[in-house]
């Protein structure tokens, strides 16, 4: 057992586990998620141990590593049950977090409510101190003021203290001294320092990120400590790692210090798995989509590197850290179809969720959803939902679609269900197109990786709409995020603001800052034993002087030292990237650097799946029957395959349905599918049909 | 209809993407942080197909400005032409705003094309920028750019561009903004061609027509459902100086979901900058009626068709050349929206749903005479909205400046920015750079000034109302107190 890797992802409904053995053997399991997420984790481990015929403590005792994707931080933030936070900030600036740079999510709607105050005004205290933009101290730190703030926090029962002073990214001395005082005064408090969490210019972005870190930090720490104790008590002697929002993993202890980095811990695994899958299957450029019950997540992977953004809002909170760029829209199996006052069909954004859920769940839901439409059309088998663990009521689905869509629009039930599916497919395709065009890419250059329970039904149609030629439904689609947890590298993302025009740069200062960032990153990775090789990736956030948004440009240098030659090449890349993104470049304009970025990646030896030998093309051995499916208004009788019995090399021309536990895959008319050596379903879409053909 | 919905959603996405691209690539703070622009797609009639905007000021104005352009160049438009207009009296509103359109010929006809309307940093006028609280003629606010061709058959008309840039004290910002807009328009044109290639021209035109009809029906249904049959006249006295005001009177009617505006009785502001063009007035009235649902829809001609108005020629809402219009968005629009909402709610619009909320403003620049003199909007806070948090709806999606960026880049030290004991936002800015001059504006209503601006020089405090060319020496402080329209939501 000694070389098994285990990845465990806790989702809203299920806790998924993927274990990869020393010989590339894969095991996976799913158990219901639990209020205390550690119960689900232990249950999943217990189930796997049982499958392997081992007592849990024996199994855990041999495991070198568990990588975990957790939603504790996300739930804490979205359900507002994080820690009681106090904020110490520069006197005169305690309301920046409330001002939000005057941003409101809605431009026009006066009914929009304010976001929940994760640090109410009475807990925001300004302390006299001031540093200028060059790091000079203008006003010394009022240490007595800090102690008075601590006294007030003690009175309020504050559990976590966020500290954010102006220009602390240039000179962090005041923040560090404040932290020392807070440690003396409130020894049990969790402390979040902006100069550590996000040492970058723009005070609102920094204070928001730092405060969210304080808000979720104690909950995440408590959970990780609790989980680790339980694992240790069951014999686990290896290392516990947590997947972060940037797609890398970190030790549980380090992840707890920067808990804000775990806000996308769940979905990050799926994107990382997409990259791993692409490497195995031979696709460098992928779009991963994950369609669940309420949402549809889209991420872009170019040259096997997932796209990253620093412009995230999670819930209604600004997080300016580099995170995987996962675009989410409210389109899922539970999205409700309705007819608006002007007589047009709409799908979502309201969702029936999992409770009461779609009408066909028979849990009291009466409104038609995407899942209901899929059942009506025969795309979903009501007797094989979750492998038959849940039986769906087709009649209720038909009733709901008839009552709320077909009759108001004067359509047949089948026409109405088809329209619902067509519309939701279009909404998802539009969102996907936006993600690619935002990065100056054409979706036709990508393969589509469809994960999530409902992804396999809709992927083929979306690919058609987007002009994508290949869809990959992973063999491990139902546990895709846990697979990603298993294969992610260690990763530390460091950043530092350094404003200067490219033609006036001080190379010594630049190189010194990068060296400091690398040292700090190596310090944060010290002590772990799972990565032997380290890679350093450096980049610069650049823009034309005056632009508000920056473009992150990798530095072209093989050495640690950045020279004018490297920088000239990087500058050239900036102009090209700017043109690609915005159809516009101007090499005559001065360019400014704003932020230095460094990723230190601890490369783990990636487990390799064992490729199966290609067998016969004939898939009849997996045939489990046939049924009528409405791919459009007219019904078609199609073969239905048991996906778990399909062998590598099996070839299935569309139309067909493949059913696996947790996933149904629709192979549409004109599409063809092949099972690859790793059990992935590769669907080829009518090979690059011309625009005119598509129009016809 | 489903097919049309699907196709239209692609068209709407192109409009949104056009708007986002302009915001990301423009150079002037007015566009990048102030978001004072809108992007749209139009037909050759022109009808508004889809528009993305970040405030209420542009609603009718891209269509109206493009109509002026098409009227001027009716039989003189060709492939690759890009045309421009910036004139309150050619479909516009406030000075300094220009509309650039890229007519796109598909199968030889003007089917669907993009346009952007944006406020430039400076296009002449008496002072740098667009804030002139005492302007009595439009030329004091900016030069008028009546329709001209910026590109002819794809070739830049250098004389036209030079003419524009030579009429600006912020040449490099204006040049960069125009280049960004033109690039974004070309990107949108390429997307539209690809869409029509893929879906076909006929299907595209059908989708546009059906969606416009649907939006009109939906908007009419909403007006009827929310307000019923309205016939009510509201009036306000709009202070235009310390001792003078102008009557703003509007009779609002709704019939079959149509919003009728009759401004009979409205006075004139011939010697002041509070005038509002008819397109502007209709746009604000539409926002007053549909604010609650506008975020969930894509603005198009169906919405615009819901509003009609009559007004006395030469009045505040239908001024005649050369009346100035510079404070129409900042002041007149707020009064108008308040009146229309009040009328629609039977004279008692709930306070917590108010959209308006005027606030003071300061525009600083180097002393008059500097050739390159891009103005800087010193606007460190906002009026607290009637909702008790954030700025009012009519403030739009302006991004408040970062104190750190302001200090590191612009030589202004934001000394403090915080909610005061009075529940208002207080901010203090110090000039750490060379001597500047500034135009100050403090709006008034019946209760007196809304907000307060105080200049502090060497300890001497001077409370300012509206003023021009106020000297702000190095070390000079400006104290801002913004008005509030409600108590803070979180006590």
A584: closest chain B residue by CA: B183
pLDDT at position A11: 80
pLDDT at position B145: 96
CA torsion angle B115 B118 B124 B128 (round to 10): -170
On whether residue A282 sits in a domain, the answer given is: no
Measured between CB atoms, does A583 come within 8 Å of chain B?
yes
pLDDT at position A97: 96
Residue A378 has pLDDT above 90, yes or no: yes
Higher pLDDT: B411 or A376? It is: A376
Where residue A233 sits, what CATH number does that domain have? 3.30.420.40
pLDDT at position A295: 83
At A352, is the secondary structure helix, strand, or coil?
coil
Residue A158 contacts by C-beta under 8 Å, 6 or more apart in sequence? A84, A85, A86, A123, A186, A189
Q: Which strand ranges, in their side-by-side order, compose the sheet holding B460-464?
A: B412-419, B425-431, B477-481, B452-457, B460-464
CA Rg, chain A, in Å? 26
Q: Name the DSSP class of A609.
A: P
Assess whether A210 and A245 both reside in one domain. Answer: no
- Interface test with chain A among B39, B219, B390, by most A beta carbons within 10 Å: B390
On whether residue A136 sits in a domain, the answer given is: yes
Among A120, A426, A584, beta carbon nearest to B490: A120
- The CA distance from B130 to B143, in Å, is 11
Check A345 against B27: CB less than 8 A apart.
no
Pick the closest to residue A299 from A263, A332, A274, A334 (CA basis). A274
C-beta of residue B78 within 8 angstroms of C-beta of residue B149: no
Measured between CB atoms, does B377 come within 8 Å of chain A?
no
A692: closest chain B residue by CA: B198
Assess whether A71 and A119 both reside in one domain. Answer: no
- The CA distance from A217 to A261, in Å, is 10
On whether residue A273 sits in a domain, the answer given is: no
A544: closest chain B residue by CA: B27
Measured between CB atoms, does B418 come within 8 Å of chain A?
yes
Q: How many CB atoms lie within 10 A of CB A62?
A: 16
Cis peptide before B322 (omega within 30 of 0): yes
Query: Which residues from chain B sit within 8 angstroms of residue A544, using beta carbons?
Result: 27, 176
From the CA of A51, how many Å to the nearest CA of chain B? 48
Instruction: Quote ipTM for the complex.
Output: 0.94
Query: Which residues from chain A sit within 8 angstroms of residue B21, using beta carbons?
Result: 582-583
B191: closest chain A residue by CA: A437
pLDDT tens by residue, A537-570: 999 999 998 777 889 999 987 777 888 888 899 9
Measured between CB atoms, does B487 come within 8 Å of chain A?
no
Query: Which residues from chain B sit within 8 angstroms of residue A438, using beta carbons?
Result: 17, 20
pLDDT at position B265: 97
Query: Which residues from chain B sit within 8 angstroms of residue A423, using beta carbons?
Result: 2, 5-6
Pick the closest to residue B298 from B13, B19, B23, B57 (CA basis). B13
pLDDT at position B402: 95
The 3-state secondary structure of chain B reads CHHHHHHHHHHHHHHHHHHHHHHHHCCCHHHHCCCCEEEEEECCCCCEEEEEECCHHHCCHHHHHHHHHHHHCCCCCCCCCEEEEECCCCCCCCCCEEEEECCCEECCEECCEEEEEEECCCCCCCCCCCCCCCCCCHHHHCCCEEEEEEEECCEECHHHHHHHHCCCCCHHHHHHHHHHHHHHHHHHHHHHHHHHHHHCHHHHHHHHHHHHHHHHHHHHHHHHHHHCCCEEEEEEEEEEECCEEEEEEEEEEEECCEEEEECCCCCCCCCCCCCCCHHHHHHHHHHHHHHHHHCCCCECHHHHCCEEEECCCCCCCCCCCCCCCCCHHHHHHHHHHHHHHHHHCCCCCCHHHCCCCCCCEEEEECCCCCCCCCCEEECCCCCECCCCCCCCHHHCCCCCCCHHHHHHHHCEEEEEEEECCCCCEEEEEEECCCCEEEEEECCEECCEECCEEEEEECCEEEEECCEEEEEECCCCEEEEECCECCCCCCC
Measured between CB atoms, does B201 come within 8 Å of chain A?
no
Pick the closest to residue B441 from B329, B325, B362, B358 (CA basis). B362
From the CA of A375, how many Å to the nearest CA of chain B? 20
pLDDT tens by residue, B409-418: 888 999 999 9
Measured between CB atoms, does A558 come within 8 Å of chain B?
no
- The CA distance from B177 to B31, in Å, is 8
Q: How confident is the model at residue A162 (pLDDT cuts 50, 70, 90)?
A: very high
- The tokens for A303 are 């040259």
Q: Are strands A160-164 and A137-139 parallel, antiparallel or unpaired?
A: unpaired
pLDDT tens by residue, B42-91: 999 999 999 999 999 999 999 999 999 999 998 899 999 999 999 999 99
Q: Are strands B452-457 and B436-441 parallel, antiparallel or unpaired?
A: unpaired
Angle at B282 between CA B277 and CA B285, to 5 degrees: 125
Over range A182-202, report the average pLDDT: 97
pLDDT tens by residue, B281-294: 999 999 999 999 99
pLDDT tens by residue, B352-380: 999 999 999 999 999 998 888 999 999 99
Residue A355 domain boundaries: 335-423
pLDDT at position B256: 93
Measured between CB atoms, does B44 come within 8 Å of chain A?
no
Least confident of A157-171, A466-480, B268-282: A466-480
pLDDT tens by residue, B211-251: 999 999 999 999 999 999 999 999 999 998 888 899 999 99
On whether residue A624 sits in a domain, the answer given is: no
C-beta of residue B239 within 8 angstroms of C-beta of residue B289: no
Least confident of A159-163, A391-395, A396-400, A441-445: A441-445
- The CA distance from A197 to B110, in Å, is 53
From the CA of A548, how many Å to the nearest CA of chain B? 6
Angle at A325 between CA A323 and CA A327, to 5 degrees: 130
Among A423, A452, A472, identify where a domain stops: A423
Higher pLDDT: B358 or A28? It is: B358
From the CA of B334, how many Å to the nearest CA of chain A? 14
Residue A688 has pLDDT above 50, yes or no: no
pLDDT tens by residue, B113-159: 999 999 999 999 999 998 999 999 999 999 999 999 999 999 999 99
pLDDT at position A418: 94
On whether residue A379 sits in a domain, the answer given is: yes
Query: Which residues from chain B sit within 8 angstroms of residue A582, using beta carbons?
Result: 21, 24-25, 180, 183-184, 187
Over range A313-328, report the average pLDDT: 93
Check B291 against A132: CB less than 8 A apart.
no
Share of chain B above pLDDT 90, in %: 88
From the CA of A536, how many Å to the nearest CA of chain B? 29
Among A542, A575, A603, identify where a domain stops: A603
- Within its chain, how far is the Cα of B293 from the centroid? 19
Check B218 against A166: CB less than 8 A apart.
no
Angle at A441 between CA B108 and CA A329, to 5 degrees: 100
Check A102 against B391: CB less than 8 A apart.
yes
Pick the closest to residue B154 from B211, B225, B80, B236 (CA basis). B80
At A115, is the secondary structure helix, strand, or coil?
coil
Check A343 against B13: CB less than 8 A apart.
no
Average pLDDT, chain A: 91
A109: closest chain B residue by CA: B292
Assess whether A91 and A209 both reside in one domain. Answer: yes
Check B419 against A98: CB less than 8 A apart.
yes
Over range B445-465, report the average pLDDT: 93
pLDDT at position A2: 55
pLDDT at position A121: 95
Query: Which residues from chain A sit within 8 angstroms of residue B56, using beta carbons?
Result: 108
Check A584 against B180: CB less than 8 A apart.
yes
Cis peptide before B276 (omega within 30 of 0): no
Check A341 against B222: CB less than 8 A apart.
yes
Measured between CB atoms, does A632 come within 8 Å of chain B?
no
- Interface test with chain B among A80, A97, A133, A331, by most B beta carbons within 10 Å: A133
Residue A1 has pLDDT above 50, yes or no: no
Measured between CB atoms, does A348 come within 8 Å of chain B?
no
pLDDT tens by residue, A60-108: 998 988 999 999 999 999 889 999 999 999 999 999 999 999 999 999 9
Residue A692 has pLDDT above 70, yes or no: no
Measured between CB atoms, does B292 come within 8 Å of chain A?
yes
- The CA distance from A558 to A544, in Å, is 26
- Interface test with chain A among B297, B403, B433, by most A beta carbons within 10 Å: B403
- The CA distance from A567 to A507, in Å, is 10
Residue A354 has pLDDT above 80, yes or no: no
Among A94, A341, A345, beta carbon nearest to B221: A341
Pick the closest to residue B257 from B305, B299, B310, B291 (CA basis). B305
Measured between CB atoms, does A410 come within 8 Å of chain B?
no
C-beta of residue A490 within 8 angstroms of C-beta of residue A604: yes
C-beta of residue B214 within 8 angstroms of C-beta of residue A344: yes
Check A430 against B10: CB less than 8 A apart.
yes
- A134: buried, middle or exposed (CB in 10 Å: 19+, 13-18, 0-12)? exposed
From the CA of B322, how many Å to the nearest CA of chain A? 32
Question: Among residues 423-442 of chain B, which lie with CB inside 8 Å of chain A?
Answer: 425, 428
Check A691 against B490: CB less than 8 A apart.
no
pLDDT at position B490: 67
Residue A262 has pLDDT above 70, yes or no: yes
C-beta of residue A131 within 8 angstroms of C-beta of residue A138: yes
Assess whether A50 and A152 both reside in one domain. Answer: no
Place of tokens 């409405």: A630
Domain count, chain A: 4
- Reading phi first (left if > 0) and then psi (alpha if -120 to 50, else beta), residue B96 is in left
Assess whether A62 and A85 both reside in one domain. Answer: no
pLDDT at position A687: 52
Average pLDDT, chain B: 95
Where residue A89 sits, what CATH number does that domain have? 3.40.50
């Amino acid at each position: 057992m000694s070389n098994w890797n285990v990845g465990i992802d806790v989702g809203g409904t299920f806790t998924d586990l993927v274990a990869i053995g020393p010989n590339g053997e894969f095991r996976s399991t799913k158990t219901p998620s639990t209020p205390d997420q550690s119960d689900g984790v232990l249950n999943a481990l217990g189930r796997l141990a049982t499958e392997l015929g081992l007592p849990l403590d024996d199994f855990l005792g041999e495991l070198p590593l568990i990588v975990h994707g957790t939603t504790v931080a996300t739930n804490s933030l979205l359900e507002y049950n994080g820690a009681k936070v106090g904020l110490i900030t520069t006197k005169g600036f305690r309301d920046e977090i409330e001002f939000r740079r005057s941003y409101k999510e809605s431009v026009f709607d006066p009914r929009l409510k304010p976001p929940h105050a994760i640090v109410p005004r009475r807990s925001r205290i300004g302390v006299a101190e001031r540093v200028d933009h060059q790091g000079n101290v203008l006003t010394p730190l009022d240490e007595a003021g800090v102690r008075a703030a601590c006294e007030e926090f003690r009175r309020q029962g504050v559990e976590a203290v966020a500290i954010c002073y102006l220009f602390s990214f240039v000179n962090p001395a005041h923040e560090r001294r404040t932290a020392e005082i807070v440690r003396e005064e409130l020894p049990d408090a969790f402390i979040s320092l902006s100069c550590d969490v996000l040492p970058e210019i723009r005070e609102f972005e920094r204070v928001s990120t730092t405060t969210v870190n304080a808000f979720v930090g104690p909950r995440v720490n408590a959970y990780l400590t609790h989980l680790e104790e339980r694992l240790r008590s069951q014999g686990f002697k290896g290392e516990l790692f947590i997947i972060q929002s940037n797609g890398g993993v970190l030790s549980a202890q380090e992840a707890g210090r920067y808990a804000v980095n775990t806000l996308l811990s769940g979905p990050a695994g799926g994107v990382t798995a997409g990259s791993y899958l692409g490497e195995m299957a031979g696709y460098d450029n992928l779009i991963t989509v994950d369609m669940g019950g309420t949402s549809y997540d889209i991420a872009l992977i170019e040259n096997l590197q997932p796209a990253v953004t620093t412009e995230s809002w999670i819930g209604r909170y600004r997080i300016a850290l580099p995170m995987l760029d996962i675009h989410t829209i409210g389109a899922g199996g539970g999205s409700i179809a309705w007819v608006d006052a002007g007589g047009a069909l709409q799908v979502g954004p309201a969702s029936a969720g999992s409770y009461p859920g779609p009408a066909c769940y028979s849990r009291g839901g009466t409104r038609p959803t995407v899942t209901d439409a899929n059942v009506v059309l025969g795309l979903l088998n009501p007797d094989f939902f979750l492998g038959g663990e849940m039986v769906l009521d087709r009649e209720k689905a038909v009733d709901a679609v008839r009552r709320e869509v077909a009759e108001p629009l004067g359509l047949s039930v089948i026409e109405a269900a088809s329209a619902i599916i067509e519309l939701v497919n279009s909404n998802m395709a539009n969102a996907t197109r936006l993600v690619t065009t935002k990065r100056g890419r054409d979706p036709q250059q990508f393969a589509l990786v469809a994960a999530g329970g409902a992804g396999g039904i809709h992927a083929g149609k979306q690919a058609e709409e987007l002009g994508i030629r290949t869809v990959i439904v992973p063999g491990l689609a139902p546990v895709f995020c846990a697979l990603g947890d298993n294969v992610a590298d260690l990763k530390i993302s460091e950043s530092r603001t350094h404003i200067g025009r490219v033609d006036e740069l001080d190379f010594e200062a630049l190189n010194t800052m990068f060296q400091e960032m690398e040292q700090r990153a190596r310090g944060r990775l010290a002590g772990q034993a799972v990565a032997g090789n380290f890679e350093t990736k450096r980049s610069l956030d650049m823009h034309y002087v005056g632009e508000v948004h920056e473009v992150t440009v990798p530095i072209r240098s093989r050495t640690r030292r950045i020279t004018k030659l490297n920088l000239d090449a990087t500058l050239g890349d900036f102009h090209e990237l700017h043109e690609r993104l915005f159809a516009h470049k101007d090499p005559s304009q001065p360019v400014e650097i704003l932020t230095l970025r460094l990723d230190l990646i601890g490369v783990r030896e990636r487990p390799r799946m064992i490729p199966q030998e290609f067998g016969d093309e004939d898939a009849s051995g997996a045939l489990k029957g046939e049924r009528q499916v409405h791919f459009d208004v007219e019904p078609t009788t199609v073969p239905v395959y048991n996906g778990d019995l399909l062998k590598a090399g099996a070839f299935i021309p569309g139309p067909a349905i493949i059913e696996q536990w947790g996933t149904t895959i629709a192979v549409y008319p004109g599409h063809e599918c092949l099972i690859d050596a790793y059990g992935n379903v590769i669907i080829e879409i009518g090979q690059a049909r011309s625009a005119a053909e598509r129009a016809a | 209809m489903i097919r049309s919905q699907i196709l239209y959603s692609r068209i709407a996405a192109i409009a949104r993407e056009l708007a986002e691209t302009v915001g990301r690539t423009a150079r002037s703070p007015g566009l990048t942080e102030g978001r004072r622009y809108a992007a749209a797609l139009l037909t050759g009639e022109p009808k508004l197909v889809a528009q993305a905007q970040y405030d209420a000021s542009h609603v009718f104005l891209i269509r109206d400005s493009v109509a002026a352009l098409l009227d001027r160049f009716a039989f003189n438009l060709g492939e690759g032409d890009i045309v421009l207009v910036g004139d309150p009296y050619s479909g516009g509103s406030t000075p300094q705003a220009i509309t650039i359109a890229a007519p796109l010929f598909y199968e030889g006809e003007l089917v669907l094309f993009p346009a952007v309307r944006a406020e430039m940093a400076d296009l002449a006028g008496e002072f740098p920028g667009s804030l002139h609280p005492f302007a009595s003629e439009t030329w004091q606010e900016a030069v008028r750019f009546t329709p001209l061709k910026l590109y002819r058959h794809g070739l830049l008309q250098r004389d036209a561009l030079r003419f524009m840039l030579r009429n600006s004290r912020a040449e490099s910002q204006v040049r960069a903004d125009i280049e960004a807009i033109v690039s974004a328009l070309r990107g949108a044109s390429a997307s539209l061609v690809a869409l029509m290639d893929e879906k076909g021209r006929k299907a595209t035109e059908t989708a546009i027509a059906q969606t416009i009809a649907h939006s009109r029906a939906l908007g009419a249904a909403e007006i009827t459902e929310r307000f019923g049959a309205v016939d009510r006249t509201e009036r306000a006295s709009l202070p235009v100086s310390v001792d003078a005001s102008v009557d703003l009177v509007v009779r609002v009617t709704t019939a079959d979901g149509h919003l009728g505006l009759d401004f009979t009785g409205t006075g004139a502001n011939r010697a002041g900058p509070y005038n509002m063009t008819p397109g502007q007035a209709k746009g604000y009235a539409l926002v007053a009626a549909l604010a609650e649902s506008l975020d969930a829809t894509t603005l198009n001609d169906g919405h615009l068709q819901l509003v009609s108005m009559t007004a006395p020629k030469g009045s505040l809402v239908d001024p005649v050349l050369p009346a100035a219009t510079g404070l129409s968005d900042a002041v007149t629009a707020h009064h108008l929206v308040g009146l229309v909402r009040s009328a629609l709610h039977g004279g008692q619009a709930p306070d917590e749903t108010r959209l308006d909320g005027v606030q003071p403003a300061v525009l600083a620049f180097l002393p008059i005479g500097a050739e390159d003199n891009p103005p800087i909007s010193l606007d460190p806070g906002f009026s607290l909205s009637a909702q008790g948090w954030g700025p009012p709806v009519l403030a739009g999606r302006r991004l408040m400046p970062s104190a750190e960026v302001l200090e590191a880049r612009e030589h202004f030290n934001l000394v403090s920015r915080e909610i005061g004991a009075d529940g208002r936002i207080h901010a203090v800015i110090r000039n750490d750079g060379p001597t500047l001059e500034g135009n100050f504006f403090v709006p008034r209503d019946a209760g007196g000034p809304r907000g307060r601006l105080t200049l502090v020089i060497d300890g001497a405090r001077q409370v300012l109302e509206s003023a021009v060319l106020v000297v702000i020496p190095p070390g000079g402080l400006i104290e801002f107190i913004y008005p509030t329209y409600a108590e803070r939501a979180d006590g």
